[in-house]
């Protein structure tokens, strides 16, 4: 039985000499891994490799086989034409970093249309936008809505700090994971905004790197087995030079 779905590419791994396993987040089934048999040694199939670039958005006709946890692709075509995502070196580093983050934190094997729509809209915004220095910060912050630990804003008006451990704005806390100062004010500025007004938030390179470090700690505190992406060092070198 065949099924048609949109899919966002999160990772791809060579399997054997000629095969590829591509992990995608799909509109109909959440996280799915596809087995691409012989794609590396077939001239006809090799032309499709360009479709499977990180964070590429595809339309896939898929099918399953008995006794296989992986799915297979009968037909594939790209949705939209992404140029800057993979030709711009700085955007490319953002894509590599965020794809690894998503591959690590998304584990749902069921439909979540709101999450898929968020990912699709965000990727399209990044492709079209020339000023994207703070994109990854807002992207990761908003992603916590779907992961279950978006900051609780009940006391945001009176708060003087934010407790990363509880995810709450507080006046006083004995937690070792309380943030104040610049990171606290940047967090407040980013909450509740969308990408269209993101460039109104002025953050310099040092502040951006500090806030990202804080966000990754926030993920680690709320996702027990989370580890910083291996691409983080390259991302920091490219993005903050």
Taking only the tens place, the pLDDT of each residue in 120-136 is 999 999 999 999 999 99
Number of domains in the chain: 2
CATH number at residue 57: 2.40.50.140
Q: What is the pLDDT of residues 210-231, one digit of tens each?
A: 999 999 999 999 998 898 898 8
> Last residue of a domain, which of 31, 54, 78?
78
The boundaries of the domain holding residue 129 are 84-239
Question: In whole angstroms, what is the distance from residue 187 CA to residue 228 CA?
Answer: 20
Cα dihedral 161, 164, 167, 172 sign = negative
In a shared domain, residues 175 and 117? yes
Task: Sheet containing 178-179: give its strands across.
Answer: 168-170, 161-163, 178-179
Same domain, 217 and 117: yes
Prediction pTM value:
0.93
Angle, vertex CA 214, rays to CA 210 and CA 219, nearest 5 = 145
pLDDT band, residue 39 (cuts 50/70/90)? confident
Asked whether residue 19 carries a pLDDT value surpassing 80, the answer given is yes
Q: Are residues 52 and 110 in the same domain?
A: no
């Amino acid at each position: 039985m065949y099924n048609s779905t949109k899919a966002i590419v999160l990772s791809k791994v060579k399997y054997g000499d000629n095969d590829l396993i591509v992990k995608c987040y799909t509109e109909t089934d959440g996280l799915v891994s596809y087995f691409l048999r012989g794609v590396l040694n077939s001239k006809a199939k090799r032309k499709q490799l360009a479709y499977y670039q990180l964070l590429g958005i595809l339309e896939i006709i898929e099918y399953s086989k008995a006794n296989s946890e992986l799915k297979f692709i009968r037909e594939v075509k790209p949705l939209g034409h992404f140029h800057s995502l993979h030709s711009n070196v700085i955007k490319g580093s953002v894509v590599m970093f965020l794809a690894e983050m998503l591959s690590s934190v998304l584990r749902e094997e069921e439909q979540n249309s709101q999450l898929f729509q968020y990912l699709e809209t965000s990727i399209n915004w990044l492709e079209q936008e020339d000023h994207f220095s703070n994109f990854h910060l807002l992207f990761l912050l908003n992603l916590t809505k779907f992961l279950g630990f978006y900051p609780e804003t009940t006391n945001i008006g009176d708060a003087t700090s934010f407790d990363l451990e509880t995810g709450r704005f507080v006046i006083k806390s004995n937690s070792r994971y309380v943030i104040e100062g610049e990171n606290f004010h940047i967090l407040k500025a980013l909450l509740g905004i969308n990408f269209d007004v993101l460039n109104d938030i002025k953050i310099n390179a040092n502040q951006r790197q500090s806030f990202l470090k804080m966000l990754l700690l926030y993920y680690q505190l709320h996702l027990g087995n989370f580890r910083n992406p291996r691409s983080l060092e390259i991302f920091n070198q490219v993005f903050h030079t």
